[in-house]
Chains A and B, each alone.
Chain A
């Protein structure tokens, strides 16, 4: 790891930069998986009085708007050169955090549907601008060699915290935690973004120069031949960029479509994410941490396709476990009231940690400082938010069509298996074509003859 080298040499600027990045991203992701995904559902149903269906529709609108705002912001950042200017990114982020702070503070007071809608609209602007502004910080703050481990650290911190605190999935609890956490963060970010605090200015100036060394992502260099290591940026309109976008879209879609149904099934969540027993939450948190670290090691040492294969394989396995439980309950109804195996939620947690780690590292690694705004916005926006929008819409359709739990999870399992098989076939065909052309087939990921 480059970070250890910096630590040995007592070069604190890059170490501090990595710490800042882990802090920002972990806090942002924690906010997303708790306040946005769980808190809004409670706000809409309990305090505003909407049905779950109505809230889900609003959530889908949030995802769609966030996607559009993210792409618009990312493209603007690249075109105006803001993606290469750390101070501008800090200022954008400060605006995002300030707006989100206010929104978080007022959220528990919302009681009407129009107010809820206005909140969604404002939040989608904040989240949409926040995506390229925050993810693009990686090119300034994180050495390419360490991105897998840094992504693992973000995933581990965010999911561990989200699993152990707060246990109460109510908007008031989420709001109190977030406001307390965001206040000092907003002050620190304000100091960095203001340009008026001497110490912060010097730090920002030093960090801003790092993109000359860290800026070119891992997949923007040639990997074989005499020109190994030479800069070869991934173009936005290339298969090298859209291939991972499609795969990550599949990952988010599969996860979201399955999880939306799983959290509505009491026997699945009461022994895991909504268990009254704290040790269940702690166990899930530890599983997230360990599997994020594993994913970090794998990302650093293998080609990204391997990690995608693991993710699809794990999701297939997870949904196989869940569907087996449902089938068992159908065959032996007396078993239906029994406890669901903790292995199901543990394997689910492993799969989620794997792809989250991949998501944090992949987009900056497919970018240069000139393209990072667009690539992170399209990558995270399309793969993450648009996939969530479409999966929510499909889940709502399944609900109105009264699709059974088993059929729903079967669809998810089939999708995961299809993506797994499709990726295996695609990798094989790519090598086959390379072999037929007489190219170097031995340049396969992670190995050499």
Chain B
């Protein structure tokens, strides 16, 4: 039997597809385990595990979603089949009157089987050319460098405060960044499962990504401060661009590269959070007593 953690995300997708096509989740049956002969479908049947078979001579009417297990058609189905995972087989005498749509999973269709229409959603990942890769990286570096230069000119304290935390409070920054990142990620994924909170989840992830980008500006500021350039905004911009490129190159180093990349990102993220996006300087609680 499939684990809930594997089937639940696909069930969420099924509910989304049903809602989009005007079907009601109340009329949905789910088959998870064992063998079942499908002689009748209330409106929608989701096959998540086990085996569901339309026997010879049976002609149920309804929509079938396959997200796991096996679905076998030996009789005739008056409706559509959408396959997101699992196995679908249609015997010689089997028939699907509507559309058989395959998104993922395995299928075995006999030559004489009758299918109303058949479609396959292809997800092909096209590798970007090195030139496109370089172009994207250059664009990313340039845009962040401009923002970094702008902030350094207008509100230099923001990046300085974040940078100070990265440099002088790296342990607490890394701990806060890693812990907040992990907790927030779990929370946002969980929110997405509720469907209603998908917009909040997407917004939260976007804020997280923007915060990480903001951290890279602070790193750039730190790099820029060490460059032999007199103008602070220019040095910061060059620093940001250099940092973005260096971070990308670091990711290409096997094993240690991604670890270093992750450490830098979580430390930066933590520094952004503990300084309230640079609006305040971080001061460890115990330093008040020492002072």
Stretch at the interface among A85-93, A123-131, A166-174, A294-302: A294-302
A:303-326 near B, CB below 8 Å: 303, 313-314, 317, 320-321, 324-325
Chain A residues positioned under 8 Å from B8 (CB to CB):
328
Measured CB to CB, the nearest residue on chain B to A229 is B289
- Whether a CB of chain A sits under 8 angstroms from the CB of B280 is yes
Among B4, B169, B178, B283, the residue within 8 A (CB) of A448 is: B283
Listed by A's residue number, 9 A-B pairs whose Cβ atoms lie within 8 Å are: A218-B285, A298-B172, A301-B172, A317-B183, A321-B190, A328-B8, A332-B32, A339-B5, A447-B280
Residue of B176, B190, B291 near A229 (CB, 8 A) is B291
| Cβ–Cβ contact B288 & A228, under 8 A | yes
A301-B169, A338-B3, A338-B4 given; A145·B276 CB < 8 A:
no
Contact check, B30 vs A332: say whether CB atoms are below 8 A apart: yes
A328 CA to B9 CA, complexed, in Å: 12
Task: Take A300-B284, A301-B285, A448-B280 as given contacts and tell me if A294 and B179 are in contact as well, using a CB distance cutoff of 8 Å.
Answer: yes
A347 to B48 CA separation, bound complex (whole angstroms): 28
Band of interface residues on B: 35 or more
Residues of B within 8 A of A221 (CB): 289
Q: How many A-B residue pairs have CB under 8 A?
A: 93
Given contacts A321-B190, A334-B49, A338-B3, contact A229 B288 (CB under 8 A): yes
Interchain CA distance A347-B30 in the complex, whole Å: 30
Contact indicator B284/A301 (Cβ below 8 Å): yes
**Is A446's beta carbon under 8 Å from chain B?**
yes
* Chain B residues near A314 (CB-CB < 8 A): 183
Residues of B with C-beta under 8 A to A411: none
A144 interfacial contact with B, CB 8 Å: yes
Contact with A along B172-185 (1 / 0, CB 8 A): 10011011000100
Residues of B within 8 A of A (CB): 1-5, 7-8, 11, 30-33, 48-49, 169, 171-172, 175-176, 178-179, 183, 186-187, 190, 193, 274-276, 280-286, 288-291
The docked-state distance in angstroms from the alpha carbon of A379 to that of B245 is: 53
A224–B288 touching, CB < 8 Å: yes
Is the CB of A223 closer than 8 A to any CB of chain B?
Answer: yes
Given known contacts A294-B175, A332-B32, is B286 in contact with A145 (CB within 8 Å)? Answer: yes
Cβ-closest chain B residue relative to A331: B30
Residue A16, interface by CB 8 Å: no
Instruction: Enumerate chain A residues within 8 angstroms of B175, measured Cβ to Cβ.
Output: 294, 297-298
Q: Among B4, B176, B274, B282, point to the contact of A335 (Cβ < 8 A).
A: B4
For B281, the chain A residues whose CB sits under 8 A away are: 447-449
Task: Determine if B186 and A218 form an interchain contact, defined as CB atoms under 8 angstroms apart.
Answer: no
Given contacts A297-B175, A301-B169, contact A228 B289 (CB under 8 A): yes
A240 at the interface (CB under 8 A from B): no
Q: Please report the C-alpha to C-alpha distance between residue A449 and residue B193 in the assembled complex, in whole angstroms.
A: 40
Residue of A nearest to B179 (CB): A294
Residues on B with beta carbons closer than 8 Å to the beta carbon of A338: 1-4
New A-B pairs, 13, CB < 8 Å, besides A218-B285, A300-B284, A334-B33: A145-B286, A221-B289, A300-B172, A302-B285, A332-B30, A334-B49, A338-B1, A339-B5, A341-B4, A447-B275, A447-B283, A448-B280, A448-B281
User: Given B33, B289, B291, which contacts A144 in the complex, CB threshold below 8 Å?
Assistant: B289
A418 within 8 A of B: no
List, in ascending order, chain A residues with CB within 8 A of B11's CB. Answer: 332
